[in-house]
Amino acid sequence: MPGKILKILKNPDPILRKKSLEIPATDIGSKALTELCFSMAKTMLKRDGVGLAAPQIGKNIRVITVNTKDGQICMINPKITSKSIAKEWGEEGCLSVPKMFGQVRRHKKVACRFIDLGGEEVRLKAEGLLARVIQHEIDHLDGILFIDKAKDLKEAAEE
């Protein structure tokens, strides 16, 4: 996979608390944005993550990458368009908040739309882990960390 491993910012870096800006249509499909998406996906996989948001690598732009059973998806300007009424608790961690885990209540299902690397609008329905990851990563774009919503926060034991 092309791309390079990027440095992940750690809490309390102030960039993680900023609201990210939409990517202008003129930048979609650019070589720089495509390379950024590849590098984000490579970084996420190298760090055993299931998602990564641009603010985590120091860029306040609305781009996330998520790892699905079908492979990685780069989502440009993602928006959740609907959420299930049903919610569930689940354990979450974050590459920007190392060694911390907690229970976070999220919608069981979400529908979202985003622009793909080819500039096409994509609509996606997600449930289970994918729905959780999308909600977690979009929170990053709004300057929200999982520790803001989590209960029963605990530190992972050293291996």
pLDDT, tens digit, for every residue of 95-106? 999 999 999 999
Q: Residues 22, 88, 137, 159: which is the catalytic one?
A: 137
Closest residue by Cα to residue 66 from 134, 141, 146: 134
CATH 3.20.20.450 fits 14-155, yes or no: no
**137 noted as active-site residue:** yes
Residues 6+ apart with CB under 8 A from 116: 73, 74, 75, 76, 122
Least confident of 1-5, 32-36, 89-93, 123-127: 1-5
CA 126 to chain CA centroid, Å, is 14
For the chain, which residues make up each domain, given as ranges?
14-155
Structure tokens at 129: 């882990």
pLDDT at 156 over 90: no
CA 5 to chain CA centroid, Å, is 16
Closest residue by Cα to residue 137 from 71, 44, 46, 35: 44
131 near 109, Cβ under 8 Å? yes
Question: Region 22-44: what's the mean pLDDT?
Answer: 95
pLDDT at 3: 85
pLDDT at 140: 98
pLDDT at 159 over 70: no
Per DSSP, what are the bridge partners of residue 92? 102
pLDDT, tens digit, for every residue of 39-96? 999 999 999 999 999 999 999 999 999 998 878 999 999 999 999 999 999 999 999 9
Rg (CA), the chain: 15
pLDDT at 24 over 90: yes
- Rounded to an integer, what distance in angstroms lies between the CA atom of residue 133 and that of residue 111? 13
